[in-house]
Amino acid sequence: MTKPMKIAIASGKGGTGKTFISTNLYNLLQKKGLNVALVDCDAEEPNARLFLTEGILKSSREVNQKVPVIDESKCTYCGKCAEYCNYNAIFFLKEPKIVNVLEEICHGCGACSVACSYGAITEKDDLLGHVSNFEFSNKSALIESRTRVGVYSSVNVLKAAIKEASGFDLVLFDAPPGIGCPFIQTVAQADYVVLVTEPTPYGLSDLKQSIETLKGMDKPYGVIVNRAGLGNDVVYDYLKKENIPLLMSIPFDKNIAVSYSKGELLTDQDSKWKEKFSELFNKVKEEYGNSNN
């Protein structure tokens, strides 16, 4: 592979099996000897590690942000810091005199410290979360982002995790659920997006939302239907009509569900599934190639 290829695996609201896909795909490619990283970008609830237990923790580091601390003995209550803050993260009142940093919405941009001409603002480190790197035998890695409980936005932590994966030939992102900032920040870094959905009306409406977002970002994508056979044809009809590639379809199978709930990897147990995930990867590569021509 010449330039690194980045694939995001995403699903609207979650619970449709994106981690099932991402962990099995990673497992297969890693065991084939590819230099691959899986980044668990679901920083609020990372769970890929539960399935990928073979990796050894190589490093874990803190992700911090600078937040302002205001020394009220030096403060003249001029209000300039609040004026400079683009995120409404400084609560300021002249009467009664109040100046208060709202740490949960502070973005750590530093504008307020520049604004203050009275030396009343210093900065302290605020822990946002951790990035952990689990190494596998052939130097492939699972890189996990995990935000500290109560942190307002997971974006900085997942970005730090994605950055850590920059040296690999192939990078897979297990994208955060939803279509908010964390999702957008993740897929923005990907070359191709794999959307996982269920063949139900609910799955379809979720899928449409994700697709709308991706269209706005001009990202190529394809769809995996999980638990096929469960619902009806609405998703398939939609894919056909919109000319969206169906990358794989996974039948609804109690054995798959049971082995997943035990934290087992299908690609370790069944050669048929190894084959299927290989095909999936080839298909993604092909689609990716087409979209980059």
Residues in contact with another protein by CB under 8 A are: 82, 87-89, 91-95, 98, 102, 104-105
- Does residue 91 interact with ligand SF4 by CB under 6 A? no
Scanning 101-109, 173-181, 191-199, 244-252 for contacts with ligand SF4 by CB under 6 A, the matching segment is 101-109
Which tokens belong to 256?
A: 């798959």
- Does residue 116 interact with ligand SF4 by CB under 6 A? yes
Specify the DSSP element, H or E, that contains 111. Answer: helix 111-115
- Does residue 120 interact with ligand SF4 by CB under 6 A? yes
- The nearer residue to another protein, 88 or 138, going by C-beta atoms, is 88
In angstroms, the CA 76 to CA 72 distance is 8
In angstroms, the CA 115 to CA 81 distance is 5
- The nearer residue to another protein, 14 or 79, going by C-beta atoms, is 79
Residue among 168, 184, 217 nearest 5 (CA): 168
Residue 91's binding partner, choosing from ligand SF4, another protein, none, with beta-carbon cut-off 5 to 8 A by kind? another protein
In angstroms, the CA 48 to CA 40 distance is 6
Least separation in angstroms between CB 95 and ligand SF4: 13
Least separation in angstroms between CB 218 and ligand SF4: 30
Least separation in angstroms between CB 88 and ligand SF4: 8
In angstroms, the CA 252 to CA 146 distance is 31
Residue 94's binding partner, choosing from ligand SF4, another protein, none, with beta-carbon cut-off 5 to 8 A by kind? another protein
- Residues 54-73 binding ligand SF4 (CB under 6 A) are 68, 70
Residue 170's binding partner, choosing from another protein, ligand SF4, none, with beta-carbon cut-off 5 to 8 A by kind? none
- Does residue 155 interact with ligand SF4 by CB under 6 A? no
In angstroms, the CA 64 to CA 252 distance is 42
Q: Is 105 helix (H, G, I), strand (E, B) or coil?
A: helix
- Does residue 76 interact with ligand SF4 by CB under 6 A? yes
CB 138 within 8 A of CB 30: yes
Q: What is the per-residue burial (b if ≥16 Cβ within 10 Å, else e) of 91-121? A: ebeeeeeebebebeebbbbebbbebbeeebb
Scanning 43-51, 83-91, 134-142, 163-171 for contacts with ligand SF4 by CB under 6 A, the matching segment is 83-91
CB 53 within 8 A of CB 186: no
In angstroms, the CA 190 to CA 110 distance is 29
- Does residue 89 interact with ligand SF4 by CB under 6 A? yes
For ligand SF4, the binding residues (CB under 6 A) are: 68, 70, 75-81, 84-85, 87, 89-90, 99, 101, 106-112, 115-116, 118, 120-121
